[in-house]
């Protein structure tokens, strides 16, 4: 039987922490599906536009050897529907979200993986010079 793992993220300013999470998520099962936040969802949840457009972020994630499938996440409220649609057995999230997805434990095993120390998308973005275009 195939164990299917699902995770979600914005994956803006892709970095080693994202890669580490995806590799560790894939190691928990036989198939990894990754939900990439749309540009609209990113703006809604982070109050900023992503640095990289959703199609480029999704295409980049799809090229990783550890990823089997990519889909666009349009709504945070649809997490359960995405888990069912992608036949998830395990939901993986970073431990900065610890406890926030426990409500899905009736449907999937919820696993929170430790973040890569010293790496933060927010810190990377905040270190960029302001766009003067």
Kindly report, residue by residue over 34-54, the tens digit of the pLDDT.
Answer: 999 999 999 999 898 999 999
Q: Residue 111 above 60 pLDDT?
A: yes
pLDDT in the model for residue 131: 62
Please state whether the predicted TM-score (pTM) of the whole model is above 0.85. Answer: yes
Q: What is the pLDDT of residues 8-21, one digit of tens each?
A: 999 988 989 999 99
How many other CB atoms are there within 10 angstroms of residue 26's CB atom? 20
Domains present along the chain, CATH in parentheses: 4-126 (3.40.50.620)
Q: Residue 97 above 50 pLDDT?
A: yes
> Under 8 Å CB-to-CB from 56, ≥6 apart: which residues?
none
How many other CB atoms are there within 10 angstroms of residue 94's CB atom? 18
Nearest-angstrom CA–CA distance, 90 and 9: 15
């Amino acid at each position: 039987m195939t164990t299917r793992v699902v995770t979600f993220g914005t994956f803006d300013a892709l970095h080693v922490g994202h890669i580490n999470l995806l590799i560790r998520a894939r190691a928990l099962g036989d198939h990894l599906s990754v939900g990439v936040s749309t540009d609209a969802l990113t703006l809604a949840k982070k109050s900023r536009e992503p640095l990289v457009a959703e199609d480029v972020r999704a295409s980049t994630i799809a090229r990783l050897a550890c990823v089997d499938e990519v889909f666009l996440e349009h709504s945070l409220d649809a997490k359960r529907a995405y888990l069912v649609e992608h036949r998830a057995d395990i939901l993986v999230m970073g431990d900065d979200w610890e406890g926030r997805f426990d409500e899905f434990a009736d449907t999937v095993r919820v696993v929170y993986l430790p973040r890569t120390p010293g790496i933060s998308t927010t810190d990377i973005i905040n270190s960029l010079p302001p766009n003067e275009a």
